[in-house]
Structure 1
Amino acid sequence: MTLQTRKLYDPTAPNASTAIVNGQSSNVLNWDDVRFSWAYPLYKNMLANFWTPFEINMTHDTKQFTRLTESEQEAFKKIIGLLAFLDSVQTDYSLKVANYLTDSSLVALMSVLSFQEVVHNQSYSYVLSSLVPKATQDEIFDYWKSDPVLKERNEFIVAGYEQFASDPTPETLAKSIVYDVILEGINFYSGFAFFYNLARHQKMVSTSTMINYINRDEQLHVYLFTNIFKELLIDNPELQSEEMEGFVRDSLVRAIEFELKWFNYIIGEQIEGVTSEEMESYLKFIANKRAKQLGYDHIYPEHRTNCLKWIRAYEDINAAKSDFFEQKSRQYAKVSSDNGFDEL
C-alpha cells in the first residue's frame, strides 16, 4: 500500500484524522479537536524547551579549547562533525514524514521538530566559529565525506531513510522511524557523554550547556516518533509481526555495535572519565529504553541500570535554564530515581 500525501485542505473531512496515514482530515489544526490525546501536551513541552545558540556565552570555552589535550580536541571536532551531519539529514527526513501524516496535530509537531533541528545545526556553527578558524570549521562539516568510521554508521541510517523516501509505504515508514529513533536516541549519546564528561571536570561548560539543550529536544523527538510508530502499528495491524520485532531488535543491536566502534575510534581509553566497558553498558541501557519506547521487550536484560550515575544531572530534561546560563557546576533538585535515567 503506497502512502498518499496529505491534502492541503478537505472541507468534507473532520478535523481529527480518521487514520494516522492514508486517512481523512480537513487539515485544519484545532488543538481541541485532534485524534491523539498526547499531541498537545507534547507540543507545549516542545515550546517550553525553546532556545537559541545566542543565549550561550562562549567566552570561557574559547579560552579553554586550546588547553584541551590533543585527543580531547580531536574528539570534540569529530563529534561536532557527526552531529552536524545527523541533524542536517534529520531536518529533511522529518519534513518528508510530515508529507504523509494525515493528522494536522502531528504535522504541527513535526514542523516544530524540523525547526529545532535547524537550530541544533546552526548551534554547531556557532560553537565552532568561537573556537576554530573558518577553514577548520569547513573541514569539520565535511568529515562525513571522508572519515570511514563516520561514513559507515551514517550510511546505515541514511539507507533506511532513502528506502522510505523512494518507496513510501506504512512498512517503510515504520522501519524508517526505527532508524530515526537510533539517530536521535542512540547515535548522539556517546558524543553527549563526551561533552558531559568534559563539563563535570569544568571543561567546555558552555558547549555542554548547548548539548544539554539539544539533548532535551532529542528526548522529546524520540517520544514523538515512538508514539507515531505505535499508532502506525495500531492502524496497520499487519505490521505487528515477528518480522517487525526482529527488525527492531536487529537494528538496535547493529546501532550499538556502530556506536561502540565510533566511541572507541574517537575516544576509547585516551580520554579520562569514561571507559569502553562503561560506555558499552550505558549504550545497551539506552537501547533497552528505546526498545521499550517502541513497544518491545529489553534487548539486553542484563543492562537495566544506568552505570553512568553522574550523567543524570546533565541529561535531566527538567533542568532549569538558569543553572546553565550561570555556567556553574550543575546542582539539580529534580534529579531522582523516578525520572527514568537509572533503571528500566
Structure 2
Amino acid sequence: MNTILPFKIFEAENSNLPTSIFGGGSSGIRDWDNLKYPTMLDINKNLSAEFWNEDEVKLGKDIEQYNSKLTEAEKYVFNTITGMLNQLDSHATDFNMFLSYMVTDPSIRSNIALINYFENLHNRSYQYLTSTMLNDQQKREAFEEVKRIPVLLERNKLVLDKIQTFLDTVVDYVVNKKQIDNNFLQASFEGLLAYQNLEGLFFTGGFVYFHSLARDQKMMGSNNLICMIKTDEVQHSEFYGTLIRSIMGENPQLNTTENQQYAVYFIKDCVEKEKAWAKYIFKDIETLSMKEYMNYIEYLANLIARNAGIQEPYPENQEIKSRWIVTYGSKKRDKNDSKQIVTRTDFLQTDAINYEHSSGEDYDY
C-alpha cells in the first residue's frame, strides 16, 4: 500500500473501480455499475428508502400519558435513556466523519454519508422527545445527567476509548502523511468493532424500554418514533458488519486467532457492562423483566458477531425469547406520497406495528 492520506478528490490516472477500502487507488468517480463490492449499491438503496422526519410522529397523547400515567421512576428512565441515546448518536456522527475521510472506496463513502445523515436525524428525534415532554430546564438536565452516572460512564468508556484511539490514529496519519500500515489497520478493526457494539448493543438495548412502555399501552407515539430509529440502526449495524468482513478479507494479516479471541472477549465485556447499566437504570421499572433483558442483550451480541464474521459469544442464545420485543419493536409505514403501505422488518423482526405518516408541523407541546 503506497497511497498517502488523505485521499485526493480526483485522480484521473486511477480506475473508477477502487482497489481497496483503505489506502487504495480510485479516480473518485462513483460508477455504481462498476463496484468492488456490489452489495454497496443494495445498501445504498435500502438506506435511501428510509427518509423521514421526526415530527411526522405526533406525541399529543404521549404528553398526557407522561404527566398522568408514568411513575416518577418511569419518567426518570425515559429522560435518562433518551439523553443517553442522544449522547451515543452524537459520538456516532463524529466517528462516521473521521472514518469516511480515510476510506478510498467512493461507494462506501457514499453509504457512510447517508448513515451520518440519519445519525443527525436521530439526534433531532431524541431532542424532539425530550422537548415535547419536558420544559427547557428539565430537558437540559436529562442531557446533563448522562455525564454523571458512574456505571454508564464505565460502560461507554469501553467503546469510546477504542473509538477515540481510532480518531487519534486518523489525525496522526493525516497530519504526518503516513502510509497505511498494519498499525492503522489494527486501530481501524478495533474502532469498528467498538462502534458495532455502540450501534448494535448499546443503542438497540436502550430501545427496549420504549417497547416495554408500549406493551403497557403507554407512550405509543414515542415508541413508534424509536422503532423508526431502530430500523435505521439495524441497517447501520449490518453495513458495518459487512465493512469489517470486507476489511478482514482485504487484509488477511488481521484475520488472526488473536483478533478473533479479542473480538469475542470485547463483545462479552460490552455485554457485562450493559447488564450492569441495566440493573442500575431499570431497577424500579415494572414493565421490564431483567431476565428477559439479559437474554435479549446476549442475543444482540450474537448478531453483532455474526454480522462481522466473528464467532458468536453466546452460541446457546439463538433466538429472541421475549416475543413482545419483536411485536412492539417493529414498525409499519404509510407513505402518503406514493399511496402505498410499506412494511419493513429487520433481521430481528417478523411482526409490525402500525405507523401513520402525516405531514409534520412543529413540536407538540
Q: TM-score, with normalisation over the residues of structure 2?
A: 0.86
1:202 aligns with 2:214: no
Deviation digits for residues 277-311 of structure 1 (CA, Å, limit 9, x no counterpart): 11111111111111111112221122112111111
For 2:334, the aligned partner's letter is S
Describe the SS at the equivalent of 2:22.
coil
Deviation digits for residues 206-234 of structure 1 (CA, Å, limit 9, x no counterpart): 11011001100000101111111111111
For 2:320, the aligned partner's letter is N
C-alpha spacing 1:90/1:333, structure 2 compared with 1 (3 Å):
closer
Matched residue, 2:281? 266
Summarize the alignment of residues 156-171 of structure 1 with structure 2, pairs less than 5 Å apart: 156-168=158-170, 169-171=184-186
Q: Aligned-pair distance for 1:158? A: 1.2
Q: Which runs of 5+ in 2 are unaligned?
A: 171-183, 336-341, 351-365
1:95 aligns with 2:97: yes
Whether the aligned pair in 2 keeps the contact of 1:306 and 1:341 (CA below 8 Å) is no
Matched residue, 1:84? 86
1:321 aligns with 2:336: no
1:55 aligns with 2:69: no
C-alpha spacing 1:3/1:200, structure 2 compared with 1 (3 Å):
farther
Q: TM-score, with normalisation over the residues of structure 1?
A: 0.91
Structure 1 runs of 4+ aligned residues shifted over 6 Å read 332-335
For 2:258, the aligned partner's letter is E
C-alpha spacing 1:310/1:10, structure 2 compared with 1 (3 Å):
same
Matched residue, 2:176? none
Whether the aligned pair in 1 keeps the contact of 2:200 and 2:237 (CA below 8 Å) is yes
Matched residue, 1:327? none
Describe the SS at the equivalent of 2:102.
coil
- Once residues 264 and 3 of structure 1 are traced to their aligned partners in structure 2, the CA distance between those partners, rounded to angstroms, is 48
C-alpha spacing 1:156/1:38, structure 2 compared with 1 (3 Å):
same
Deviation digits for residues 77-116 of structure 1 (CA, Å, limit 9, x no counterpart): 1101110100000001001000111111100000010110
- Once residues 136 and 58 of structure 1 are traced to their aligned partners in structure 2, the CA distance between those partners, rounded to angstroms, is 18
Query: How many residues get paired?
Result: 329
Identity between Structure 1 and Structure 2 (%) = 29
- Once residues 119 and 14 of structure 1 are traced to their aligned partners in structure 2, the CA distance between those partners, rounded to angstroms, is 35
C-alpha spacing 1:134/1:334, structure 2 compared with 1 (3 Å):
closer
Whether the aligned pair in 1 keeps the contact of 2:16 and 2:34 (CA below 8 Å) is yes
Q: Aligned-pair distance for 1:341? A: 4.7
Whether the aligned pair in 2 keeps the contact of 1:3 and 1:21 (CA below 8 Å) is no
Q: Aligned-pair distance for 1:334? A: 7.7
Q: Aligned-pair distance for 1:251? A: 1.1
Whether the aligned pair in 2 keeps the contact of 1:216 and 1:315 (CA below 8 Å) is no
Matched residue, 2:295? 281
C-alpha spacing 1:302/1:140, structure 2 compared with 1 (3 Å):
same
Q: Aligned-pair distance for 1:189? A: 2.6
Matched residue, 1:328? none
For 1:208, the aligned partner's letter is N
Q: Aligned-pair distance for 1:15? A: 1.3
1:229 aligns with 2:244: yes
- Once residues 17 and 7 of structure 1 are traced to their aligned partners in structure 2, the CA distance between those partners, rounded to angstroms, is 13
Whether the aligned pair in 2 keeps the contact of 1:14 and 1:26 (CA below 8 Å) is yes
1:294 aligns with 2:303: no
Summarize the alignment of residues 100-179 of structure 1 with structure 2, pairs less than 5 Å apart: 100-168=102-170, 169-179=184-194
Q: Aligned-pair distance for 1:3? A: 7.8
Whether the aligned pair in 1 keeps the contact of 2:215 and 2:328 (CA below 8 Å) is no
